[in-house]
Structure 1
Amino acid sequence: MKQRNSVEKKKNGKQKSVNRSKYQDQGDQFLNWVNSLGIERTFLGKMLYLLESSFKVRMTALLFVCSIFLAFLINLEFDPIYTGYKEGDIAAIDIRSPITFEMVDEIATAEKRVRAEESVPPIFRYDRDIYESLFDRVYSSFKEMRGRLVGTKWSRSEFKKDKQISEFLQKNKERFEEILGKQVDDRVFLFLAEQRFSIDVANLLVNLLEPYVGVKIIADLGPLQLSKREAVILSLDGKGDELKFPVNEIADLRSIQRDFVWPRNLKTNVLKTKGRRTLAKFAENLLSANMILMRDETKERRQKARNSVVKVNLSIKKGQVIVSEGSTFQPQHIIILDQIRRLNQKRQTDLMSFAMAVLFVSLILVMFSYVRRYSSVRIRIENRHLGAILSITIISVLITKLALFLNALSPLDEVGLPISDEFFHYLNPIGVAGMMLALLVTNIQIIWMFCIFIAVVTGVLLNFSFTFMVVSLFAGIAAARGVFSFSKRNDIYYAGIRTGLVQMLVIAVLTYLSGGERLWFHIAWNSAAGFMSGVLASMIATSLIPIFESVFNFTTDVRLLELSNLNHPLLKEMIVKAPGTYHHCIVVGTMCEAACEEIGANALLAKVGAYYHDIGKSLHPEYFVENQKKEFNPHDHISPNMSKTILVAHVKDGVEMGERYKLGKPIIDIIRQHHGTSLIAYFYNKAKQSENEALHSAREEDFRYPGPKPQFKEAGVVMLADSIEAAARSLDEPTPVRLQNIVKNVIHNKFMDGQLEACALTLRDLKIIEKSFIRTLLTIYHQRIDYPKEAGGRLSEYSPSTKSNIVN
């Protein structure tokens, strides 16, 4: 066992050494590249060196990028009400352009495009042979009907004649229409049948239609809206030959049919007047349009003409009068003024965003540098902290933007309440930023820095309002302070109420100092807005905290309250499998909670961490003294190395169980760190005193926990309470003097062993912790006054025995 551990130790040590030898910080690589360019002595090189020597380049770059994004977000303007000039307004003064620029004249360009589109005439397909084909069908249909009338004589009786013609109509009309290619009225067909479809009638019909053979006829001229001078391009028979004709050569089919009459110069003895009217009506129905509009081709050509138009540029000089005094605003004026406003806004936004980005980065770096230099506590900022800070900042900016949006809408003005512009500014729940960060990040210095930063950001957002900066600063501090001592879920709402009260007081004072009309009215409304702001902040924080816990892997006090429930599966399993360990954890939790409250640490985190710090013991409870029976100790039957391995394993097992049950990073860190790198002295001494010569060479570092040492105050307090409670439990007679000595000795030994060097506990904190532990232990192990044996007491019958070293 020893040899295998030794080999693994050497292998691990060798691998770790190799990694350190190959590691090089990326910031160093960047500076080496800069030095290779030979500019290390230039101003740029000195600035880069100064930047890297004070802060990490990557951190600074990230801050700068985030600040630029935040600055652009702040400068993002959205106004629901159009506050500029409108068409038809009268200019009170001469409006001049403040800049020189060129823009597209959209109105002139649109007019030019319309003219280009209208200049393209419609495209038609001209069928010159349509009437020749019609005449052929007329003669063919008449000939077919004459052939069917061969052998048929009409009766002289009008009644029988009509019956014969009707029967002929029923049998032959459909065939006649098929050959002719036109629908024929029954009266016309009866008339033609009565005339026995004579060739003379066919000739008369053709003579009626011949004048229209050379006429260009379209179905409906009206929708085209052609001018008299406009030419129409004709595609002859769709073969691609194109000719242009003036529009006066084009006839409308409806007009021709409406005006169609029997020509005076067409003389005939074949038909009487009534027959002429019938034949003329038939000829009118046979008229057809020989020009068909090619809509797709026309649309395509007009679109090409529209697209070929070059945009009309409008050049505006600085100082040029856009609208003269007394003039009426035209659409063109509105477009020019909108363009000027957009250009000015873009220039101002770019400059302001860059300036604010530099300001924000400088502010963060200065505050961070100050705290690092003058604070005794080492600040550790992780990536998730930066992500949470950036997200909370963006949420705060968006909420402030929403307040500006509501202020612009002025909904209260619509109902007749003359509320000041500051009402919705003060209604802004800006305290949510400090409240959420205080719940997510336990580092007080970071929280104070963030409150100052948010105050500056929101003040800048509201046109550098110093008043709102002050209100925002007090709101953030009050909200953060309100959730420091979080012990139950309703505390977040109480914190919101306290934040609202603080805002009420600050806003009332600032409004009073600003003066103005209707002073007390505005004080009342603005103060009410401040109070509602605090309440809203707590409601928003309650909604967002679970999201941040999940996304950024935070363990807030809200989550800790859930974990403090003794019905948690891990604690229920511990009380069944390792009741002694369970009792030990509960006592340690009580000690930690009291001590952390006195030194200003997170008492809830320490208590919950203490509850779970020994959950790994539930896998092998019989190997830990608090769960052993007096008559049996399994360590008596195994080697010291094996005992050490089992004891160390409970930390690793506890971490795995914590990760499986998602206890959260702080709790898992306490489980991992609660022994630090402490020496397992009992088994180390047992190994040194063993008769086995192989164990005599045992090294002290082989009998230490793997660590790491406690990295924050709560973990350090749990370490001390864990060792002290185990030592106190080993006493047969826990007198006040003995308990005091145990507390002092354990704290002194841990301090001298270097176990507390990374957890930021000061000597003053250790003194306070010592007194708190003593008070708690005296309360737990208080001495009862026993009575003499004659009075029923048992003190004289009890003979305490001294226990051996207790392994915890």
Structure 2
Amino acid sequence: MKKAMVAKIKRLFQDNLRNIERIKMVKWSLYGLVALIMYLTMLSNVIPESLDVSLYSRADHDIASPITIENKTATEDERSKAAQIDAKYVYRDEVSQSQVDQLNDLFSGIEKVKKNDSDDAETTEEKITELESLLSVSMSAELSNETLVPLLEAELSQISLIKELTLSEVMEVMTDRVSIDNLEQSKTDVEDRLSLTSLPTEQKKAMITVAQQSIVPNYFLDPEQTEQSRQEAIEAVQPVMIREGQIIVEEGAMINREVMEQLRLAGLLDEGFDAVPYIGLALLVILLTGYLYYFFQDVNSRVRSANTNLLILVLIYLSTLLVLKLSSLMQGIELPGIAYIVPVAVGSMLIKMLFNEQLAIASSFLFGVCAGVFFNGEITGPMNASLAFYVLMSSLSGVFFLGKRNHRSNILKAGLLVSLINIVSVAILLMLKNGQYSGIELSYHFLFAFVSGFLSSMLTLGLMPFFEAGFRIISTTRLIELSNPNHPLLRKILVETPGTYHHSVMVANLSEAACESIGANGLLARVGAYYHDIGKTKRPHFFIENQMNMENPHDKISPYLSKTIIVSHATDGAEMLRKHRLPKEIVDIAEQHHGTTLLKFFYYKASEQSDQQVSEAEFRYPGPRAQTKEAAVVGIADCIEAAVRSMTKPNPDTIESLVRKIITERLEDGQFDECDLSLRELDIVAKTILETLNGIFHSRIEYPTELKKKVTS
């Protein structure tokens, strides 16, 4: 009862797989599923942290900024402070010289008027008028009659003294910088010094007035230079940045308005829904899914044609993402380096074994990016570059150390080597950080890194049978196991049909070399060739390679019966392989290696024995025609090996002619119409098979012993 239930479930599962392969929308649904799972698993790692704090409260813990952002308010404050610079002034020497020249003109005019007034005929008003005519308009307007009269009434000796004292004081004051701010003080100082002279009171007052009016500002505000200096000061101010990882407020410190503003800028305050992080994560997921689609489509392998294979890849991705997510949750455990225990290499190792190395390497980079997001809990940024590097190195080492032939025994070896690479990667990260670590901390780091590789190999060994049995796929490891001569079916061929066994080995050699030359799966072709004639074990003596020292039974039966026996070995073989649960790829090769070719010998024999037209369809194999390159190449190699073996004295020319003829006939017969073999690839297959055959049937050198035997005989 239990066995029947298991068989029923298995049939249901396999039927569903066949349905999956036929539905085109399943492919896009699977990619969508990967994107959705990636988004949901990484969502908690990108949701902005929101703090429940209030103004003037105490911080429960150190709060660091998760991003680098400019504090524009603080920057503007710093620029405002920098703009408050002293005004820039410029000293104008020409102003001082102009005032001195005007004083010289004044006293020269007074002296001239005094000389013209030697007869005292002019009145005071006339003298003033004459003097004003000798002076500039501006100076005439500045000096009043009360100032000019005492000067005109003074003696020439007094005028000379007044001129000397006035020019001396004015030149001394105007040589310095006189601004509007210190103008009055400068005039006061002149007055104080000139008041000490012994001149009459009226002349002294006039002298002081003239001197004070000659003192004007010569140090002026320079608006352009002031503005330029202000702009330079503003531009010199660096933006006030809140750096990623910067402690905004320490534990126990007061949260004032300035701190609240910094928390707001860093996005740590709950100010409503912010869609930016969610959009960023969505773009990242779309990018990663796009890369996955590109890598999967670009893989040069037959596995990309079926949705089932995509489903396998999706399951590996989802399993690896789940492992990464669960491992990232262990960061809360207070153990140094606990994050390094993540067995992420299992994903790349499974992809390498079930698909190929190219896709596994590309997937390693995708796992590294995802790990950077998953393990960002202990850092302030969106990605943990250290863990991303560690995961990438671990994944790549898992791919490289499996080797070209993925024996199951290699998985454990690869796991140990992955552990060593993990330890080296951790050592690199610790040394680059240049931190101080105790011996216990280092031990934990290296222990978890070592365990990671071991767990990866264990998980790979545990999951491989699930994928191989559950999805009816064939891996390199499985192919290698099937190629073991101790396999029951191969033992059956060897014991019951030794001729067929030798024929199969020869076909395997030819097929593997030909498939590898065109980029097909050479190992699959070799193993398929081992089993392709398993159906001959039912009636071994009806096939010429097994007829040792016996009559040919076909001579005693009709060609129609002979045809039935010969043709049935393909279908019988397929049934036997299915019964022993061999992979579908091997079954297909056994069933398709003859395609729908014509059994020419018995067809012509039947035509000779019959008076009526014999239909070719009756003497053709039932097919189907080759659906894959491997099946087509095995069919070519099978026919060529049998034909070359029947030749009496094969040589390179006759072999090449035969090989080209067989391939051409199959091509013209449409045997390659349902597989994607190109004419160029058929030519490469022909050349490769010829090279192999020429190596097998090369001419031998007769050794002296053999020559001696011939002579004596």
Question: What TM-score, normalized by structure 1, do the two folds share?
Answer: 0.50
Counterparts in 2 of 1:204-353, with a 5 A limit?
none
Structure-2 change in CA distance of 1:638 and 1:403 (3 Å): same
- How far 1:599 sits from its partner (Å)? 5.5
SS of residue in 2 equivalent to 1:690: helix
SS of residue in 1 equivalent to 2:608: coil
Q: What's the CA shift string for 1:413-447, capped at 9, x where partnerless?
A: xxxxxxxxxx44444232211211222235x6654
Structure-2 change in CA distance of 1:476 and 1:771 (3 Å): farther
How far apart are the structure 2 equivalents of 1:601 and 1:642? Answer: 37
Contact 2:536–2:543 at 8 Å: present in 1 too?
Answer: yes
Out of 380, 389, 396, the position equivalent to 2:313 is 389
Contact 2:34–2:317 at 8 Å: present in 1 too?
Answer: no
How far apart are the structure 2 equivalents of 1:752 and 1:452? Answer: 46
How far apart are the structure 2 equivalents of 1:560 and 1:760? Answer: 23
Structure-2 change in CA distance of 1:68 and 1:706 (3 Å): same
Structure-2 change in CA distance of 1:762 and 1:449 (3 Å): farther
SS of residue in 2 equivalent to 1:380: helix
- How far 1:620 sits from its partner (Å)? 1.8
Does residue 37 of structure 2 align to residue 69 of structure 1? yes
SS of residue in 2 equivalent to 1:397: helix
Does residue 376 of structure 2 align to residue 458 of structure 1? no
- How far 1:497 sits from its partner (Å)? 5.1
Does residue 609 of structure 2 align to residue 609 of structure 1? no
How far apart are the structure 1 equivalents of 2:598 and 2:426? Answer: 58
Structure-2 change in CA distance of 1:448 and 1:489 (3 Å): closer
How far apart are the structure 1 equivalents of 2:679 and 2:422? Answer: 37
Contact 2:304–2:310 at 8 Å: present in 1 too?
Answer: no
Q: What's the CA shift string for 1:295-345, capped at 9, x where partnerless?
A: xxxxxxxxxxxxxxxxxxxxxxxxxxxx99879xxxxxxxxxxxxx9x989
Q: Which residue of 1 aligns with 2:203?
A: none
- Residue type of the alignment partner of 1:707: P
Q: Which residue of 2 aligns with 1:34?
A: none
- How far 1:638 sits from its partner (Å)? 4.2
Contact 2:596–2:620 at 8 Å: present in 1 too?
Answer: no
Out of 715, 720, 723, the position equivalent to 2:631 is 715
Counterparts in 2 of 1:41-56, with a 5 A limit?
56=24
Counterparts in 2 of 1:508-547, with a 5 A limit?
515-517=433-435, 533-547=452-466
Question: What TM-score, normalized by structure 2, do the two folds share?
Answer: 0.56
Q: What's the CA shift string for 1:374-408, capped at 9, x where partnerless?
A: 77767634343233223322321232234324433
Which structure 1 segments of 5+ residues have no match?
1-22, 28-55, 78-82, 97-322, 328-340, 413-422, 798-808
- How far 1:554 sits from its partner (Å)? 2.6
SS of residue in 2 equivalent to 1:411: coil
Q: Which residue of 1 aligns with 2:229?
A: none
Q: Which residue of 1 aligns with 2:158?
A: none
How far apart are the structure 1 equivalents of 2:454 and 2:682? Answer: 38
Q: State the superposition RMSD in angstroms.
A: 5.0
Q: Which residue of 2 aligns with 1:729?
A: 645
Contact 1:68–1:357 at 8 Å: present in 2 too?
Answer: no
- How far 1:629 sits from its partner (Å)? 4.6
- Residue type of the alignment partner of 1:390: V
Structure-2 change in CA distance of 1:769 and 1:57 (3 Å): closer
Contact 1:64–1:361 at 8 Å: present in 2 too?
Answer: no
Structure-2 change in CA distance of 1:517 and 1:616 (3 Å): same
- How far 1:703 sits from its partner (Å)? 1.6
- Residue type of the alignment partner of 2:623: P
How far apart are the structure 2 equivalents of 1:523 and 1:742? Answer: 69
- Residue type of the alignment partner of 1:671: A
Q: What's the CA shift string for 1:191-214, capped at 9, x where partnerless?
A: xxxxxxxxxxxxxxxxxxxxxxxx
Out of 692, 696, 704, the position equivalent to 2:610 is 692
- How far 1:550 sits from its partner (Å)? 2.6
Structure-2 change in CA distance of 1:636 and 1:482 (3 Å): farther
Counterparts in 2 of 1:112-511, with a 5 A limit?
356=281, 359-360=284-285, 363-365=288-290, 367-368=292-293, 372=297, 380-412=304-336, 423-441=337-355, 447=360, 450-463=363-376, 464-466=383-385, 468-469=387-388, 472-473=391-392, 475-483=394-402, 485-486=404-405, 488-496=407-415, 499=418
Contact 2:599–2:620 at 8 Å: present in 1 too?
Answer: yes
- Residue type of the alignment partner of 2:625: P
Contact 2:594–2:635 at 8 Å: present in 1 too?
Answer: yes
Q: What's the CA shift string for 1:612-637, capped at 9, x where partnerless?
A: 11111111222222123566333344
- How far 1:72 sits from its partner (Å)? 2.3
Q: What's the CA shift string for 1:479-523, capped at 9, x where partnerless?
A: 3454462164322234445555666777777777x6554599999
Which structure 2 segments of 5+ residues have no match?
1-18, 64-250, 256-266, 377-382
How far apart are the structure 1 equivalents of 2:711 and 2:657? Answer: 24
Which of the two has higher C-alpha Rg?
A: 2
Contact 2:349–2:460 at 8 Å: present in 1 too?
Answer: yes
Out of 53, 58, 65, the position equivalent to 1:91 is 58
- Residue type of the alignment partner of 1:71: Y
Contact 1:403–1:425 at 8 Å: present in 2 too?
Answer: yes
Out of 577, 584, 589, the position equivalent to 2:503 is 584
Structure-2 change in CA distance of 1:752 and 1:351 (3 Å): farther
SS of residue in 1 equivalent to 2:484: coil
Kindly tell me the number of residue pairs found equivalent between the two proteins.
482
Contact 1:483–1:495 at 8 Å: present in 2 too?
Answer: yes
Q: What's the CA shift string for 1:761-805, capped at 9, x where partnerless?
A: 5667656654553454345445444579996646999xxxxxxxx
- Residue type of the alignment partner of 2:374: L
Q: Which residue of 2 aligns with 1:664?
A: 583
- Residue type of the alignment partner of 1:364: T
How far apart are the structure 2 equivalents of 1:510 and 1:729? Answer: 63
How far apart are the structure 2 equivalents of 1:648 and 1:466? Answer: 62
Structure-2 change in CA distance of 1:505 and 1:663 (3 Å): same
Structure-2 change in CA distance of 1:94 and 1:648 (3 Å): closer
Contact 1:710–1:755 at 8 Å: present in 2 too?
Answer: no
Q: What's the CA shift string for 1:350-385, capped at 9, x where partnerless?
A: 99788756754564356536875x777676343432
- How far 1:671 sits from its partner (Å)? 1.7
Structure-2 change in CA distance of 1:733 and 1:495 (3 Å): farther
How far apart are the structure 1 equivalents of 2:279 and 2:600? Answer: 61
- Residue type of the alignment partner of 1:690: E
Structure-2 change in CA distance of 1:73 and 1:325 (3 Å): same
Counterparts in 2 of 1:622-701, with a 5 A limit?
622-629=541-548, 632-687=551-606, 689-696=607-614, 698-699=615-616
Contact 1:788–1:794 at 8 Å: present in 2 too?
Answer: no
How far apart are the structure 2 equivalents of 1:665 and 1:768? Answer: 27
Structure-2 change in CA distance of 1:472 and 1:770 (3 Å): farther
How far apart are the structure 1 equivalents of 2:285 and 2:612? Answer: 63
Q: What's the CA shift string for 1:519-547, capped at 9, x where partnerless?
A: 99999997887676445423321222123
Contact 1:74–1:397 at 8 Å: present in 2 too?
Answer: no
Q: What's the CA shift string for 1:725-764, capped at 9, x where partnerless?
A: 2122112223344444444444454455554566555667
- Residue type of the alignment partner of 1:573: K
How far apart are the structure 1 equivalents of 2:521 and 2:278? Answer: 39
Query: Percent identity among equivalent residues?
Result: 33
Q: What's the CA shift string for 1:1-58, capped at 9, x where partnerless?
A: xxxxxxxxxxxxxxxxxxxxxx9x998xxxxxxxxxxxxxxxxxxxxxxxxxxxx434
SS of residue in 2 equivalent to 1:398: helix
